[in-house]
Amino acid sequence: MKSERYSNTDELIKALDQALEIATEEKDGYLIDNNITVTTSSNYYISRKDKLSEIRQHLENYHIAYLYGIGGIGKSETAREYAERYRDYYTTIQ
């Protein structure tokens, strides 16, 4: 299997947008475990409530979202915080 790298972020974003189109097609969901706990120390992570709202709005409209950026800026922690904050809104995943 050949490893493909993108020469710039525009190409990567285009590929992710294409994946978004595929992922938003109607599919049957399945139940997931919603027993999520936040383990992040508030001493190291700064909540981005504006980004959480933006993610929520995007997911309401498109049912999928991706976070991208350089390593270490808090993408995973933001995703974890979103999952914890909005856990009661979800019972399935597609």
pTM over 0.75: no
- Identify whether the C-beta of residue 43 lies closer than 8 Å to the C-beta of residue 77: no
Whole-number Å distance between alpha carbons of 6 and 68? 14
Model confidence over 37-77: pLDDT tens digits?
Answer: 555 555 666 778 889 999 999 999 998 889 998 888 888 89
pLDDT at residue 36 greater than cutoff 60: no
pLDDT at residue 31 greater than cutoff 80: no
> Which residue's structure tokens are 């959480």?
52
Whole-number Å distance between alpha carbons of 35 and 44? 23
**Residue ranges covered by each domain of the chain:** 27-93
- Identify whether the C-beta of residue 63 lies closer than 8 Å to the C-beta of residue 94: yes
